[in-house]
Amino acid sequence: MLQIKKYITSVILFFLISAPLSAQEKGTIRGIVKDSLNSESLPFANVIIRELSTGASTNNRGYFIIPSLPVSNKYNVVVSYIGYKTKSVDVKVDAQKITELEIFLTPSTVEIGVVEKIEYLTPEENIPDLGKTILTVKRLEVIPKGVETDLLRALAGVPGVKSSGDVSAKFSVRGGEPNQNLVLVDGVPLYYPYHAIGLFSVIDYDLINNLEFYRGGFPSYIGRAISSVMKVNTKDGNKNNFSGKGSISLLSVKGLVEGPIPNGSFYFTGRKSVSNKILNRFLSNELPVDFYDAAFKINYSSPDFFSGAKFTVHSLFSSDNLKYDDPTSPDYNWKNSLIGFKVFTVGSIPFFLDFGVNFSSFSNEIFQKKSDIKPKRNELNDFTISTDFLYVLDNKDEFGIGADVKYIQSKMFLLNRFNFRADAGSEGLSSNAYANYKFLRFENLGADLGIRLNLKSLDAGGDFFEPRINLTYLITKNISIKGAYGIYQQELTTIYDEREVLSLFDPVVIIPEYLSKAKAAHYVFGFSSRLSNSMILDIEGYYRKIFNSPTLNENKTLFSEPDLIKSIGESYGGELSINYSGAPLDFTIAYTLSWAFKEVNGLKYKPRYDSRHNINLTASYALPYGWQISTSWNYHSGNPFTQIAGFYDQYSLNNIFSNYNIYGTLSPILLFSDKNSAMLPDYHRLDIMIAKKIDLNFMKLNLDISAINVYDRKNIFYFESKNGKRINMLPFLLTFTIKIEL
């Protein structure tokens, strides 16, 4: 405790010393940037003061702060955002006051890849943001659709991200396992973000405002995951007018209603499957999936009630049922329930305060019927209270602190071979706190120094401190080098069998007390260069050491043996991306060279998600009269797999009193070669989408058609163990979507 007190005291003293002693001749500009049509906030927009050639970027809520400005009768503030017309406003700055701005930007006529380029629209190049990728709805819309626009499948174009293939939206990041990723929807954890046994996301892209994806080296205010974190920030709803959207595809029908309420806004969205025929193309057999998802959000903000505060209630629900008519085939069900309450406060001094209370629940169940599959059920309930405080100093530095308290309950219901029901699970409290300080005062250097404290853990033990550091140094105005280091831990894990091609039961459990928390260290370095106003080159290298990670005990033979055992691992590699954004063309080239290894019980091998070379090419081109064409090409080296070396016959006497022919009692037992010692063929696929937007005054019509796997590449899915038959992934496929906006 003495060490903690010393650390907190030193942070407070540093915070006080860093603050200027006098600010009589200085003022601050604080504001929010919004869409002029619906008043939705525009995150990560650029805000520049022309006279000073300084500025800021809006955060994920659309807010910005520019402190310590000399008092002036007039500054010209220039605001730019991709897909919107650049706007300038004149602002007066008074001493010791915060000048509040609300800036509305108008969408440009060409909506994709347009920004009016002028030389000073790139503020805060010294921000330490290594390993962070931002995706907006406009970016998601131009990616060719597998069936529908999907944020999880869009991640396949991000360097360092390895997709599980055509039949699954599950992904691994920089050699991490899929169960080491965390998905947050408005700060609430979503423990199973998949529809249709993992084919696509339960999060409808129509409700997304922006997406922040951290693939390594993430800061101290983000925790409870050792590989990656995806933060989905949803929209608030149209504050100006009532409006609606509806669309239909070969898979589902969905709709969205949004509009203003007194001192606020709302949205409600729902989606329901209408046919599973298109899904059968993904697996080449019957997939009787029936699913739905629904979400709503209500915002309220009134200066008469609580000046500077915004109150939000939001939720997300989803359900998937896999039901077979055949009574000898089991049925499956997956459910998510999320609900959260947030208070966001902007103070009379330059600070932001977030307070939230949320609940997240996930369940997965197998119904036996007349099959040989035993019934199972998993439940996870998460109740969390959290608060975050951010203060912006006059010298542009930022100081943040926060804490959360979680109550986690995990349940597992199993039926063994003797039809004995076993109830397994655990529950408990977990609490984390963090502090971080961002140095942004220096023109050429940016640093984010932070620490995360594990105040109270669940069953598994782990480290108390999780140090984090993220640095950016500007060699020139357009060239920077970056570095990051951090320790990361997580207490929950999803149990999955690496040997299964498709997993239909994905229990989420608390890591048991006989194991330590999952723990990893990230070492990341990078180089970034602005080649022109429209083109950026990024290069990143990484090394990741996994000290502890629970994995399924594949050799378990006795009830007394543990289901989970410890594994260790490491991964390393390099990533290169080139992004060009300029009307009417937008393209990205991404290449990843990587290695991943896993070790269990002294056996070191390459996991199934290891892939040496990954290439992703995406491009979109805006044509006249509302037409747009986009394309993507994906390639990766073949994945490791375990070959069948042979088999032997084993006696199988189910009834010792029967007269068996000796040859009728023999069952083949497979023999396998060394684990994952063979490689599947390389994977590659080309997709093309053509879209058309039609404005009919009273409504807007969006039509698109996608061609998937244009040249019908025979990408292998797996070999059947019984007969060695090759099963391929998705063949050539045409899909279409019709969307109406009122």
Cα–Cα distance, 258 to 264 (Å, whole number): 11
pLDDT confidence band for 120 (50 / 70 / 90): very low
Give tens-digit pLDDT for 166-215. Answer: 777 788 999 889 899 999 999 999 999 988 777 788 998 889 998 899 99
One domain, residues 221 and 256: no
The residue out of 194, 213, 231 marking a domain boundary is 231
Q: Does some domain include residue 391?
A: yes
pLDDT confidence band for 443 (50 / 70 / 90): confident
Q: How many residues does the chain have?
A: 742
Contact between 253 and 739 (Cβ < 8 Å) = no
Number of domains in the chain: 3
One domain, residues 451 and 592: yes
The confidence score (pLDDT) of residue 285 equals 67
Q: How many CA atoms lie within 13 A of 301 on its CB side?
A: 17
Q: Does some domain include residue 722?
A: yes
For 257-278, what is the mean pLDDT? 91
One domain, residues 507 and 428: yes
One domain, residues 464 and 337: yes
One domain, residues 276 and 344: yes
| 3-state SS track over 233-279 | EECCCCCCCCEEEEEEECCEEEEEEEEEECCEEEEEEEEEECCCHHH
Residue 648 pLDDT > 70, yes or no? Answer: no
One domain, residues 499 and 638: yes
The residue out of 231, 247, 273 marking a domain boundary is 231
637: amino acid identity, one letter = S
Structure tokens at 322: 């896999």
Q: Does some domain include residue 59?
A: yes
Question: pLDDT > 90: what percent of the chain?
Answer: 42
pLDDT confidence band for 482 (50 / 70 / 90): very high
Q: Does some domain include residue 568?
A: yes
Cα–Cα distance, 342 to 354 (Å, whole number): 7
One domain, residues 357 and 474: yes
Q: Does some domain include residue 647?
A: no
Q: Does some domain include residue 318?
A: yes
Q: Which residue has the higher pLDDT, 280 or 609?
A: 609
Q: Does some domain include residue 665?
A: no
One domain, residues 427 and 561: yes
One domain, residues 221 and 240: no
Q: Which residue has the higher pLDDT, 697 or 232?
A: 232
The confidence score (pLDDT) of residue 420 equals 63
pTM comes to: 0.89
Give tens-digit pLDDT for 309-330. Answer: 999 999 999 999 988 888 888 9
What does pLDDT average to over the chain? 85
Among candidates 159, 52, 148, 230, which has minimal Cα distance to 574?
159
Q: Does some domain include residue 403?
A: yes
Residue 378 pLDDT > 80, yes or no? Answer: yes
One domain, residues 282 and 305: yes
Structure tokens at 180: 């080491």
For residue 103, list its beta bridge partners.
Answer: 33
CATH code (residue 733) = 2.40.170.20
The 10 Å Cβ neighbour count of residue 7 is 14
One domain, residues 454 and 405: yes
One domain, residues 328 and 444: yes
Which of 78-92, 157-171, 351-365 is predicted with the least confidence, judged by mean pLDDT? 157-171
CATH code (residue 58) = 2.60.40.1120
> Residue 197 belongs to what domain range?
132-231
For residue 402, the SS3 value is strand
The confidence score (pLDDT) of residue 277 equals 77
The 10 Å Cβ neighbour count of residue 625 is 7
The confidence score (pLDDT) of residue 652 equals 56
Cα–Cα distance, 422 to 619 (Å, whole number): 53
Cα–Cα distance, 228 to 223 (Å, whole number): 9
The residue out of 231, 246, 271 marking a domain boundary is 231
CATH code (residue 221) = 2.170.130.10
Cα–Cα distance, 257 to 253 (Å, whole number): 14
